[in-house]
Structure 1
Amino acid sequence: MTDVDRVPSWPELILLMCFGESEEPSFTGVVEVDDRYEDEDTGEGAPRRLLRVHKSGPRYRVETLDGELVHIQGADRGWTFHPGSDTPGLIKIDDEYTGHSYDYAIARPNPTRWRGNDFTTPTGPAVSTTYLGRAAWQVEIAPPPHKPVSITLVIDAATGMQLRWGSDEFGDVFRWTDIDHGVELADDLFTWDGPFHFAYSDPDELPDDIQEMVERGDAERREKVAALQLPDISVRLSASPEVFNVGDDGSFHAMFDLSGYLVVERRPHSTGAWEDDDPRGYEMWTDGPWDWRMRLSDEIDPEQLDAIRGQLARLS
């Protein structure tokens, strides 16, 4: 444990914040964050909000005080929820940060966080203090040249957890308002078994089990598409010329854009409306057990509708 009778150096505090000195106790707490820091250019977003956090080692779960999920961080993946949606985005865990205002309050920082001059250098030695009843170290962090004031950083002396980051002039980026250490937290708090979408920038980064699930889904989809036996559709396209150059001798350079398209949908016959509320015009009909609807691009003459329907008839 950290010797609170001896003032640690700044490099020692960085090691404490990044790695700790012993097994990190699990805890449940409430953190106040300033969401304006998610968009420094516009300052948009709710100025402040309180979030309940359950944390066990590197895993954590973030909720609103009403119990609405915000983020779940597992051992090797995370799920980020957006307001009003029950389907989170699955993200890779390649570092501790998910791009949200609460990251620095919850996750241990990477040592590279303290490179450069953007609030990385203390103005003096740490000062012993108490925060939420726990021994802590308070450090004033010098601003970079383009910012006006220093930042106060409060660090838990035992765990290295960042307890407050802010200034009296501009308020806190985050500060913990309640922490209950040593609570037992169930493993299912840190996983999600419901539907999700992929928020990965690179599909190769998917965990092995998720990659296998994606490949199975792709194979099943290919089988379903093959079973449909959709025919090739032949249509006549029309386009007006776009003339780029014309010479006095009758020479010219022109383009005819024939990039037409056809949107076709089929569903089992129903008296209800189609699921989406698309305001664009569709040709709709029923043939046997199926309802159909079709939309043509401007390049396709609507007089071809019957011919196109005839080519699709064998699917009914």
Structure 2
Amino acid sequence: MMVVPGHGCRVWRHGNKIRVENIDGKPIFVSDGVRAWDFTGRSDRPLVGLPDRVIYLGPGQFLLHRRTTAEWTGNDFAQPVGDVEVAEFAGRHCWTVQLAPPEGKPYPLRIWVDVDSGQMLGYLVEEVGEGSQFVDLAVGETLDEGLFV
């Protein structure tokens, strides 16, 4: 299942449960942690599958998909360049670091990770100004379980 969110979306996450909507409120992707629904085709008949079989592509992909341990051991934006620094980002206390690019890509990727939740809040290729980030962020709020079904 491939989910390709466009520019600007709303995201709710609670553990392995996630809901992604277009800005207009139409669902793009929903998972209750056991099943996943892809609404990018026919919204009245979403594709249904297992969450671990979902591939995110496009803007915001690094924010919507938590990387596995195996993905952090490779060389695709996985190795730090320099020290991890403390910074405020999106109104949250974060760690930030640049990650070395894989062979064939010219620039490193800077990421910001929320200290309290471990959620990546933003990333940026500073040399070209390309990236994505959460805005209007709320952490720790109670969420309606109906968001994820």
Q: Same fold (TM over 0.5)?
A: yes
In structure 2, the residue matched to 1:130 is 88
Structure with a larger share of its residues in strand: 2
State the shift of 1:99 in Å.
Answer: 2.7
Distance in 1, matches of 2:52 and 2:43, equals: 25
Question: Given the alignment, which residue of 56, 62, 68 partners 2:14?
Answer: 56
Larger of the two Rg values belongs to structure:
1
TM score, norm. by length of structure 2: 0.86
Share of identical aligned residues, percent?
29
How many residue pairs end up in the alignment?
145
Larger RCO of the pair (alpha carbons < 8 Å, separation 6+) = 2
How many Å apart are 1:148 and its aligned residue? 0.8
Residues 58 and 107 of structure 1 are in contact (CA less than 8 Å); yes or no, is this contact kept in structure 2?
Answer: no
Deviations 1:107-143 (A, max 9, x none): 4321011122121111111011001211101101111
Aligned CA distance change for structure 1 residues 109 and 145 (closer, same or farther; 3 Å): closer
- Please identify runs of 4+ aligned residues in structure 1 that moved more than 4 A: none
Task: Provide the C-alpha distance between the structure 2 equivalents of 1:108 and 1:184, rounded to a whole number of angstroms.
Answer: 21
Q: 2:69 aligns with which of 107, 111, 116?
A: 111
1:157 & 1:184 partners in 2: Cα distance? 20
From 43, 65, 84, the equivalent of 1:85 is 43
Question: Gapped runs of 5+ residues in structure 2?
Answer: none
* Correspondence for 1:160: 118
- Note the alpha carbon deviations across 1:67-126, whole angstroms, 9 max, x for none: 11100011211000125632100011236x433334431343210111221211111110
Structure 1: gaps spanning 5 or more residues: 1-37, 39-45, 192-316
Q: 1:164: Cα distance to partner? A: 1.1
CA RMSD of aligned residues (A): 2.0
For 1:204-254, what per-residue CA distance to the aligned partner results, in whole angstroms no more than 9, with x for missing partners?
xxxxxxxxxxxxxxxxxxxxxxxxxxxxxxxxxxxxxxxxxxxxxxxxxxx
Distance change >3 Å, CA 92–CA 84, structure 1 → 2: closer
Q: Is the 8 A contact 1:164 1:172 kept in 2?
A: no
Q: Does 1:98 align with 2:55?
A: yes
Show the 5 A alignment for 1:269-280. none
Tell me, in whole angstroms, the C-alpha distance in 2 between the residues paired with 1:168 and 1:51: 22
Pick from 127, 141, 145 the counterpart of residue 103 of structure 2. 145
